[in-house]
Structure 1
Amino acid sequence: MAAFQLLFPLLVSCVAASSRPPRHLPPCQVVQMNVFCSDLSLRSAPDNLPHGVQMLDLSRNQMQNLTQETLAYHTGFRHLNLHSNKIHFIQPGLFKDMTDLKVLDLSRNHLNVFARSKINIGPLTAVESLDLSSNGLYTGMSDYFLADSPLLANLSLNSNSITKIANNTFSGSLALTKISLHNNVIMEIEGGAFDSLNHLTELDLSKNSITCITDFNLYNLKLLNLSKNSMESFQSTESNDRYHLLSLDLSENKMLYFPLLPKKNMLKYLDVSRNQLQSINVTGNPDENTTFHLNHLRYLDMSFNQLKSIPESFFSGMGLLEVLNVSNNCIGSFSITDKFHLRRVKIIDLSYNSLQSLTFGKNTLQSLEKLFLQGNDLTTLDHQIFRRLPSIKHLHLQQNDLKICASDQSHQDSPDCVSFTSIPNLQYLYLSDNNLRTLPANAFANTPLILLDLSLNPGLDMDKDSLSGLEHSLVHLFLRKNNISSLNTDLSSLRCLRDVDLSFNQLTILPTWIKTSSIESLNLQNNNLVTLDYSTMLTLEHSLKILYMGSNPLSCCRNLGFLHMVQHSAVVVPDIEKVTCIYEEYSELVNIGNLTPEMCHRAGIQNYVVLVVVIALLVMIVLGLLVRCCHTRKRKHSRSFRA
Structure 2
Amino acid sequence: MANVFFWLLLAFMYLTLQWKYNGAEGKLSTESGCKLFYRVADCSHLQLLSVPQNLPTDIQELLLDFNQIRFLHKNSFLRYHDLTNLSLRSNRMEFVEPGAFNGIRSLKVLSLQNNTISMEYELTSAALRLTPSLKELDLSRNMLTMDMVSVLHQNLTSLERLFLDNNIIMRLDQTVFEGLVHLKELSLQWNYIYEIEDGTFEGLVKLKKLDLAYNLLPCIGDFRLTQIQMLNLSFNNLEWFQSQETDVEFHLEILDISNNQLLFFPLLPRQHRLHTLLLSNNRMRFYGDIFGTNTSRADFLIVENNITSVTTVDLWSDDIHSNLSTLHYLDMSHNQFAFFPHGFFSNMSSLAYLKLNWNCLQVFSVSPSNITSLLDELDLSNNELLELQADNISPGILSLSYFNLSSNNLYNLPKNIFTSMTRIHTIDMSNNPLHLCSQSELRMGEGKCVDVRNVPSLRRLYLSGCGMELGLQRVFYGNTLTHLDLSYNNIKGITFLADTARTLQSLFLRSCLAFNITVDFSVFMSLTVLDISGNALTTFPASLTGLALHYLDLHNNNLISLPLYNTQRLIGSLKIVYISNNSFDCCELGWMNVLIHSIRIPDLQKVTCSFSNRYFPVWNLPESINHSCQWTNGGPWLYLLLTLPVCLTLLVALLLLFLTFKQTLLQTVKRRCRRSTSY
Q: TM-score, normalised by structure 1?
A: 0.83
Aligned counterpart in structure 2 of residue 289 of structure 1, from 304, 310, 318: 318
Matching residue's letter, 2:188: L
The equivalent of 1:55 in structure 2 is 61
More moved, 569-578 vs 390-399: 569-578
Taking a change above 3 Å as real, the CA distance of residues 439 and 334 of structure 1, as seen in their structure-2 partners, is farther
1:141 Cα offset (Å): 1.1
The equivalent of 2:533 in structure 1 is 503
Q: Given that residues 96 and 125 in structure 1 are in contact (C-alpha distance below 8 angstroms), is that contact kept between their aligned partners in structure 2?
A: no
* Aligned ranges 1:411-430 → 2 under 5 Å: 413-430=445-462
Distance 1:552 1:614 in 2: 39
More moved, 206-215 vs 97-106: 97-106
Taking a change above 3 Å as real, the CA distance of residues 563 and 145 of structure 1, as seen in their structure-2 partners, is closer
1:224 Cα offset (Å): 0.5
Q: Given that residues 492 and 514 in structure 2 are in contact (C-alpha distance below 8 angstroms), is that contact kept between their aligned partners in structure 1?
A: no
The equivalent of 1:395 in structure 2 is 427
Aligned counterpart in structure 2 of residue 228 of structure 1, from 235, 239, 259: 235
Taking a change above 3 Å as real, the CA distance of residues 280 and 29 of structure 1, as seen in their structure-2 partners, is farther
Distance 1:117 1:417 in 2: 76
* Aligned ranges 1:516-595 → 2 under 5 Å: 516-530=546-560, 540-541=570-571, 544-555=574-585, 562=591, 566=595, 570=598, 573-576=601-604, 578-581=606-609, 586=612, 588-589=614-615
Q: Does 1:68 align with 2:74?
A: yes
Matching residue's letter, 1:140: D
The equivalent of 1:80 in structure 2 is 86
What fraction of aligned residue pairs are identical, expressed as a percent? 31
Distance 2:566 2:516 in 1: 15
Matching residue's letter, 1:551: N
Taking a change above 3 Å as real, the CA distance of residues 138 and 462 of structure 1, as seen in their structure-2 partners, is same
Taking a change above 3 Å as real, the CA distance of residues 555 and 77 of structure 1, as seen in their structure-2 partners, is closer
The equivalent of 2:263 in structure 1 is 256
Taking a change above 3 Å as real, the CA distance of residues 144 and 473 of structure 1, as seen in their structure-2 partners, is same
1:607 Cα offset (Å): 7.7
More moved, 412-421 vs 125-134: 412-421
Q: Given that residues 32 and 55 in structure 2 are in contact (C-alpha distance below 8 angstroms), is that contact kept between their aligned partners in structure 1?
A: no
Aligned counterpart in structure 1 of residue 356 of structure 2, from 320, 326, 335: 326
The equivalent of 1:136 in structure 2 is 143
Aligned Cα root-mean-square deviation (Å)? 3.5
The equivalent of 2:112 in structure 1 is 106
Q: Does 1:271 align with 2:303?
A: no
Matching residue's letter, 2:339: S
Taking a change above 3 Å as real, the CA distance of residues 280 and 154 of structure 1, as seen in their structure-2 partners, is farther
Q: SS at 1:477's partner residue?
A: strand
More moved, 243-252 vs 570-579: 570-579
The equivalent of 2:121 in structure 1 is 115
* Aligned ranges 1:482-501 → 2 under 5 Å: 482=512, 484-501=514-531
1:255 Cα offset (Å): 0.9
Matching residue's letter, 1:43: L
How big is each residue's C-alpha offset from its partner over 1:610-632, in whole Å with a ceiling of 9 and x where there is no partner? 599699999x99xx9xxxxxxxx
1:145 Cα offset (Å): 1.7
More moved, 489-498 vs 536-545: 536-545
The equivalent of 2:470 in structure 1 is 438
Distance 2:593 2:124 in 1: 79
Taking a change above 3 Å as real, the CA distance of residues 608 and 388 of structure 1, as seen in their structure-2 partners, is farther
How big is each residue's C-alpha offset from its partner over 1:291-336, in whole Å with a ceiling of 9 and x where there is no partner? 1411111110101111111235111111111111111111111102
The equivalent of 1:357 in structure 2 is 387
Q: TM-score, normalised by structure 2?
A: 0.79
Distance 1:615 1:332 in 2: 83
* Structure with a larger share of its residues in helix: 2
Matching residue's letter, 1:326: L
Q: Does 1:367 align with 2:367?
A: no
Distance 1:379 1:533 in 2: 42
Matching residue's letter, 1:376: N
Aligned counterpart in structure 2 of residue 310 of structure 1, from 340, 349, 353: 340
Q: SS at 1:385's partner residue?
A: coil
Q: Given that residues 44 and 71 in structure 1 are in contact (C-alpha distance below 8 angstroms), is that contact kept between their aligned partners in structure 2?
A: no
Distance 1:53 1:538 in 2: 57
Taking a change above 3 Å as real, the CA distance of residues 50 and 523 of structure 1, as seen in their structure-2 partners, is closer
Aligned counterpart in structure 1 of residue 486 of structure 2, from 441, 446, 454: 454
Q: Given that residues 401 and 434 in structure 1 are in contact (C-alpha distance below 8 angstroms), is that contact kept between their aligned partners in structure 2?
A: yes
Distance 2:53 2:92 in 1: 20
More moved, 206-215 vs 247-256: 206-215
Distance 1:570 1:28 in 2: 41
Q: Does 1:343 align with 2:373?
A: yes
Taking a change above 3 Å as real, the CA distance of residues 42 and 72 of structure 1, as seen in their structure-2 partners, is farther
More moved, 69-78 vs 231-240: 69-78
Q: Given that residues 96 and 123 in structure 2 are in contact (C-alpha distance below 8 angstroms), is that contact kept between their aligned partners in structure 1?
A: no
Q: SS at 1:495's partner residue?
A: coil
1:56 Cα offset (Å): 2.3
Distance 1:560 1:36 in 2: 52
Q: Given that residues 520 and 543 in structure 1 are in contact (C-alpha distance below 8 angstroms), is that contact kept between their aligned partners in structure 2?
A: yes
Matching residue's letter, 1:330: C
Aligned counterpart in structure 2 of residue 239 of structure 1, from 241, 246, 254: 246
How big is each residue's C-alpha offset from its partner over 1:583-632, in whole Å with a ceiling of 9 and x where there is no partner? 6xx554576676699666525984896599699999x99xx9xxxxxxxx
Matching residue's letter, 1:213: I
Q: Given that residues 149 and 176 in structure 2 are in contact (C-alpha distance below 8 angstroms), is that contact kept between their aligned partners in structure 1?
A: yes
More moved, 570-579 vs 179-188: 570-579
1:423 Cα offset (Å): 1.1
Taking a change above 3 Å as real, the CA distance of residues 562 and 106 of structure 1, as seen in their structure-2 partners, is closer
The equivalent of 1:627 in structure 2 is none
More moved, 130-139 vs 609-618: 609-618
The equivalent of 1:377 in structure 2 is 409
Distance 2:439 2:648 in 1: 66
Distance 1:157 1:316 in 2: 41
Q: SS at 2:119's partner residue?
A: helix
Aligned counterpart in structure 2 of residue 162 of structure 1, from 150, 154, 169: 169
Distance 1:125 1:314 in 2: 51
Q: Given that residues 66 and 89 in structure 2 are in contact (C-alpha distance below 8 angstroms), is that contact kept between their aligned partners in structure 1?
A: yes
Q: SS at 1:388's partner residue?
A: coil
Taking a change above 3 Å as real, the CA distance of residues 91 and 520 of structure 1, as seen in their structure-2 partners, is closer
Distance 1:197 1:100 in 2: 24
Taking a change above 3 Å as real, the CA distance of residues 412 and 202 of structure 1, as seen in their structure-2 partners, is farther
More moved, 399-408 vs 247-256: 399-408
More moved, 593-602 vs 492-501: 593-602
Q: SS at 1:141's partner residue?
A: helix
Q: SS at 2:496's partner residue?
A: coil
How big is each residue's C-alpha offset from its partner over 1:95-125, in whole Å with a ceiling of 9 and x where there is no partner? 5764411111112121211236897543531
1:573 Cα offset (Å): 4.9
Q: Given that residues 215 and 236 in structure 2 are in contact (C-alpha distance below 8 angstroms), is that contact kept between their aligned partners in structure 1?
A: yes
1:478 Cα offset (Å): 0.9
1:355 Cα offset (Å): 0.9
Aligned counterpart in structure 2 of residue 206 of structure 1, from 209, 213, 234: 213
Aligned counterpart in structure 1 of residue 198 of structure 2, from 173, 185, 191: 191
The equivalent of 1:7 in structure 2 is none
1:173 Cα offset (Å): 1.5
Distance 1:419 1:293 in 2: 38
How big is each residue's C-alpha offset from its partner over 1:469-521, in whole Å with a ceiling of 9 and x where there is no partner? 11321011111122532334432112211222111112233444299433343
1:83 Cα offset (Å): 1.6
Distance 1:517 1:102 in 2: 59
How big is each residue's C-alpha offset from its partner over 1:36-81, in whole Å with a ceiling of 9 and x where there is no partner? 2222222321233433433222222222232324445655421222
The equivalent of 2:669 in structure 1 is none
Taking a change above 3 Å as real, the CA distance of residues 492 and 186 of structure 1, as seen in their structure-2 partners, is same
